[in-house]
Structure 1
Amino acid sequence: MSKSDHTGRGRRRARRDAPTRAPRERYEADDVRTDSDFDADAGPSRRGGRSTASRGGGVATAARPDTEEAESEGARGGRSAGRGRRGGAGQSRRGGRSGSPVDPVAKFSASALRRVSVLGDRPSQVVYNLAEQSTRTYGTRILAILLVLCLTALVALLGVLTYQLATDTVEGTGSGGSSAIVAPPEGHSTLVPELYQAQPQDDAFEPIAERPEGAGPIPEDDLFGSDTEELELDGQKLVRDQSQTTDTCTSMVWGEGVAESLVEGECTSAASAVYLDSDTEYIAQFNLFDLSSQDSAASVAEALNPDEASTAPGFLLPQKGGVDGLHKDYSQATAQVMGHYLAVYWVARTDGAEPGDDDTLSTLNVAAMNASTWVYRQVGEAEQK
């Protein structure tokens, strides 16, 4: 093996064994220095000494003879001198640059290197984190908007439900009857009868003492059929002038006490008819209320009694205008509990005058009771069940 082969092999081994040097970075406000500058600062002796030591070791291992060692030492000395000259030249060149202005590109590179160092040499991970945070912020905003819209819709729904409940309370219509008091019209009559009688409960109406489940409202056609179009007794005759039915019972009365008794008694429907005699000297009004039970009907009859001090004033509203009777002056009435129904018969002279010794008014009061023939039929049907 030649001397040159030994020498080259020793150099390569020295280079492998030498530790890898990490680049050093220094940043100053007025200069940017690279690895070559740091190597130049070390001087020719430092660089040359390190090279000589490493390479010398390689040569000593490869070449044993004295002649080979001498030649290797001469070669290394020449190379060390060359490196020293290059180091000195580098120092002179660096010294010449120290007074020159800083290159803007170098400043930008130094700033970029600082950012990379501060971010932990992982700029891509930081960018990913920033993007993820931006996505989360956007999602949070969308969620907040959706929550606001849901709350707005909920408030609107509650408003609609509240309005519907309020409307149902005021109107009080439906199969369940009125659940609120309907105020009487302005200027309504507040007449109460001079004579009021409440008939005692009759056991004949026991089959209909309770209103059956699912019972419908009072049928106007059946209640006011042809058999009740004319009512006659002892030569006195009344002819039906008008009739109506309603599921708002309180619309046929005035007075808070009477209206409350109808609501508490679960009145589901009511009917009314007005009768006149052939000479239009007398007027009679028939009212029928459908309540939940016999006891409820009795409570309403008590509330209608103008002589009852424990109840507030109140009575029926007259259904026919244009006549004085039932609007003012004298009148008389009779209430009869007929199972869960309450029938009221109210009569007067059309001019409102007192009857005196004439008993015609009393006769017509009894004749008006024939208007409730339909209730008797209800008793017969209940007994057959």
Structure 2
Amino acid sequence: MTTPTPTPTPTRKRRRSSGKEESWSIPLLEEWGLTPMQQRVLVVLASVAGVLVTVVGLIVVIEGLGGDRAPERAAAGAAVVTQPRPDTYQAWASSKVFAPLAQSTSDSKPVTLKELFPTKTLKEGKVTLRLAGTGLETDCAAAVWGQGLVDLLAGGGCTQAARGLYVSADGRYVAQYTLFNLRDAASADRLVAELTTLYRGGWVHPLQTGRATFPTGGHTESSGHAMGHYAALVWIGRADGADPGPRDDFVSLSLTVRGVEKAIFRRVVAVTDGSP
């Protein structure tokens, strides 16, 4: 008996590999420093999404893939996370009361720490605050963090940044009052208004005294007050960083630390009377 010869199974001819990867290069992406593999990933993402990737979108993806600007963005993000900043913020424009201080040229005498913080204690109702530390900078950028805020101060012609840190008599609360000496009322109004959205990415540094400070990640509240060519930032919270409870009167706490503003009212009187 003759054994039938098996029919050969058709085989698909395999493509020969040249041993090299197909050259992948998009000039614009190459200029941004993307490797061929990173370019492939970007194109695949765009294809799956089924949309055109705009320049802004490209830059974001590039940074995620390790572009040149990624370290800068990472550093900025780290600053937001590690720097104490308020959870809430309210802005108040300058009122007519401060019209005599609309221009710094009419009130050119620099502020002093003795003028702003003449006493060691501020008291309002049941709240008593004790001065824990002060600081005065002629380089306003040194008193804050966040490039947006630094730029605002520079654009507003800031010449002084004065800070006073207070702790309540029972040690329960911490409050800081910061005063910026700017070019004019328009600059002060702009600063407090811009901080309505900017405060999460730029704020004042808390003074370090060893007695109390604003804990990173703790709940704090703030407000901005324009007074002629001055802009003040009020920053308050519990020393332990906890959320305020029924016993915590943050309104009275804010009013108490704003006792510092008596010095500004005295300047209104001095300018109105023509005093030096």
Q: TM-score by structure 1 length?
A: 0.48
Instruction: Please give the secondary structure, in 2, of the residue aligned with 1:348.
Output: strand
Q: Which residue of 1 aligns with 2:155?
A: 264
Q: Which residue of 1 aligns with 2:115?
A: 222
With 335-344 and 359-368 compared, the bigger mean Cα shift is at 359-368
Equivalent of residue 350 in structure 1, options 226, 239, 250: 239
Q: How does 1:139-288 map to 2 (within 5 A)?
A: 189-212=82-105, 215-226=108-119, 229-288=120-179
Structure label with greater radius of gyration? 1
- Superimposed CA distance per residue, residues 42-89 of structure 1 (whole angstroms, 9 cap, x where no aligned partner): xxxxxxxxxxxxxxxxxxxxxxxxxxxxxxxxxxxxxxxxxxxxxxxx
Equivalent of residue 204 in structure 2, options 287, 298, 316: 316
Higher relative contact order (CA 8 A, sep 6+): 2
Contact preservation (8 Å) 1:240, 1:275: yes
Contact preservation (8 Å) 1:282, 1:348: yes
Aligned residues: 197
Q: Which residue of 2 aligns with 1:372?
A: 261
Distance in structure 2 (CA, Å) of the matches to 1:241 and 1:206: 32
Quote how far apart the aligned CAs of 1:331 are.
0.2
More strand by share: 2
More helix by share: 1
Compared CA separation, residues 261 and 326, structure 1 to 2 (3 A): farther
Distance in structure 1 (CA, Å) of the matches to 2:132 and 2:242: 21
Distance in structure 2 (CA, Å) of the matches to 1:239 and 1:293: 31
Instruction: Please give the secondary structure, in 1, of the residue aligned with 2:162.
Output: strand
Quote how far apart the aligned CAs of 1:332 are.
0.3
- Superimposed CA distance per residue, residues 268-290 of structure 1 (whole angstroms, 9 cap, x where no aligned partner): 11100100011211100010000
Q: How does 1:293-312 map to 2 (within 5 A)?
A: 293-305=184-196, 308=197
Superposed CA RMSD in Å reads: 2.5
* 1:338 counterpart = 2:231: no
> Gaps spanning 5+ residues in structure 1: where?
1-183
Quote how far apart the aligned CAs of 1:302 are.
2.4
Q: How does 1:104-115 map to 2 (within 5 A)?
A: none
Quote how far apart the aligned CAs of 1:357 are.
2.3
Instruction: Please give the secondary structure, in 2, of the residue aligned with 1:351.
Output: coil
Distance in structure 1 (CA, Å) of the matches to 2:241 and 2:200: 24
Instruction: Please give the secondary structure, in 2, of the residue aligned with 1:212.
Output: helix
Over 6 Å off, 4+ runs: none
- Superimposed CA distance per residue, residues 196-249 of structure 1 (whole angstroms, 9 cap, x where no aligned partner): 1112321100000100168243222222213xx211112110011111211011
Q: Which residue of 1 aligns with 2:5?
A: none
> Gaps spanning 5+ residues in structure 2: where?
1-75
Distance in structure 2 (CA, Å) of the matches to 1:275 and 1:324: 9
